[in-house]
Amino acid sequence: MKKKLQILNKSFNEPISCLTAYSAPIAKILDGIVDIVLIGDSLGTTLYGMKNSQKVTLDMMKYHGLAVNQNIKKSITVIDMPYKTYNTKDEAFKNAKALLKFTKVKLLKLEITEKNLSIIKFLSSKNINVIAHIGVTPQSFKDFKKIKVVGKTNSESKRLIELALNAERLGAKAILLECVTKETAKKISTVCKLPTIGIGASKYCDGQVLVFDDLIKMDSTQHMPKFVKNYLNFNNLAKKAVRKFSKDVKQKKFPSKQFTY
């Protein structure tokens, strides 16, 4: 694990790549190709069709986390602490310990604001590795359509820089920046000794993360944020395959002798 964690070092000689996974097959695809595999609470909206991530439970994260981590041999795995599972230090420690013990994942990601900064220090003192997620914190939104870029004003930028530095001082292993302006992201990445991983936070971060399902356009009806780049239109490819299957069945071409016992 220590060797793997070397990637979370500012001196790592190339940008860090990170994608989400919620299942064993996707974990197998990503393993060893991306540096970090994130079991994100984005599974709420991506897999379960939720409007936000607030109804994602600890048990959901446990079982998806286990399925992913059991199939990762080379990459680092990180798992999200779900909404309202780390409101207090004791609650955070109890739930973090249960989540890590069940999944065997070694790194937790928490959405951090000034109000819960102290939890980083407490968990770090208990030898729990924490990645601080700052900027836009999706768990605080019931309606994702209301999410806006942060760090535009001097006061906002200053607050985020201070938040990042405090997270570093209190023991975080890395900083994830979501929907932060490039100027602010560049400043944070410059002043922080920790690596920064961006999602909608410019090329100036030390790494980049995207939701895998967005990357391959799993759902063509879902509105994608500006920062999402599609590398494959899986939705179209899958529909073509399904249409071909349905046609073969109706024309009694499937199952042929080849697929019959």
Q: DSSP characters for 54-113? A: TT--HHHHHHHHHHHHTT-SSSEEEEEPPTTS-SSHHHHHHHHHHHHHHH---EEEEE--
pLDDT digit string (tens) for 39-94?
999 999 999 999 999 999 999 999 999 999 999 999 999 999 999 999 999 999 99
The 10s digit of each residue's pLDDT in 97-131 is 999 999 999 999 999 999 999 999 999 999 999 99
- Where are the chain's structural domains? 4-230, 236-261
Question: How do residues 176-201 score in pLDDT, each as one tens digit?
Answer: 999 999 999 999 999 999 999 999 99
14 as an active site residue: the answer is: no
Alpha carbon 260 to chain centroid, angstroms: 43
Fold observed for domain 4-230: TIM Barrel (3.20.20)
Q: Which of 14, 156, 178, 183 is catalytic?
A: 178
Global pTM exceeds 0.85: yes
> For residue 56, which of 82, 22, 23, 30 has the smallest C-alpha distance?
82
